[in-house]
Amino acid sequence: MQRTSFENMNCPIARSLDRVGEWWSILILRDAFYGLTRFDEFQKSLNIAPNMLSRRLAGLVEEGLLEKRPYQDKPLRHEYFLTERGRDFRPVMLALLAWGNRHFAPEGEAVIVTERATGERVEPVLVDRASGRPVTDEALFETAPGPAADETTRARFTRRDAKRETLSTS
C-alpha cells in the first residue's frame, strides 16, 4: 500500500485507490456484498490462492473496510463483515458494474441491478442529491478545488481552466 506519490496524495481518488487498488481487493468486496463472510467461501468463489486471500483480507481489515468477528475459539476463527466504510463503497462497485455492462458485455449482461419488489431491471445513474440532475453532465457540473486543496491540486485546476480558455477563444 501507500503507493500514492507525493504529487497525488492530496487527491481523494488517489487515496481511494490506495485502499482498494489491488486487483483482488475489489472482487473480495464484491463477494462481501454478496454476503460471503468466511475464508473458504471467498476462496471458492474467487479461486484465489489462500495466502493471497489471507493478505488481502488482512489489508482490507487494516484499511477499515472489513471487520473480523470471531465465531469460535480453539482454534480462533473469524468471519469477515463489511464495515460502514466498506458498505459505502457500494456506489463505486455499482458504477463499475454498470460501466462493465455497457461496454464489455457484447453477449449480454451477466449481472444486473433490480428492484426487489418487482424484480424489474434498474439503471443506476449518478445524480446531484439536491436537484436530481446527472452530475455527469459537464455543462452543469464540474470538479473544483475544495477547502483542503494543496498547491498541487490547485495547480491542476489552474491548468485545466487555462486550457479551457484557449479552447474557447481559438
Partner DNA sequence: CAGTATCCTGTCCGATACTG
Partner DNA sequence: CAGTATCGGACAGGATACTG
Q: Which of residues 111-170 bind a copy of itself (CB under 8 A)?
A: 111-117, 119, 121-132, 135-136, 139-150, 153, 156-157, 159-160, 163-164
37 near 81, Cβ under 8 Å? yes
Determine the interface stretch with a copy of itself among 51-59, 67-75, 108-116 (rule: CB under 8 A). Answer: 108-116
Q: Strand 66-72 vs strand 77-82: parallel, antiparallel, or unpaired? A: antiparallel
Q: Residue 123 has which C-alpha cell? A: 439503471
Residue 17 within binding range of a copy of itself, rule CB under 8 A? yes
Helix, strand, or coil here: 80?
A: strand
30 near 39, Cβ under 8 Å? no
Q: How far is the CB of 82 from a copy of itself (least distance, A)?
A: 11
106 near 114, Cβ under 8 Å? no
Q: Which residue has the cell 481559438?
A: 170
Size (the chain), residues: 170
Q: Which of residues 48-67 bind a copy of itself (CB under 8 A)?
A: 64
Q: Residue 9 has which C-alpha cell? A: 496524495
Interface residue with a copy of itself among 21, 50, 55, 58 (CB under 8 A) is: 21
Count of residues engaged in binding a copy of itself, rule: CB under 8 A = 94
Q: Which of residues 31-70 bind DNA (CB under 7 A)?
A: 38-41, 48-52, 54-58
Please identify, using beta-carbon distances, which residue of 21 and 54 lies nearer to a copy of itself: 21
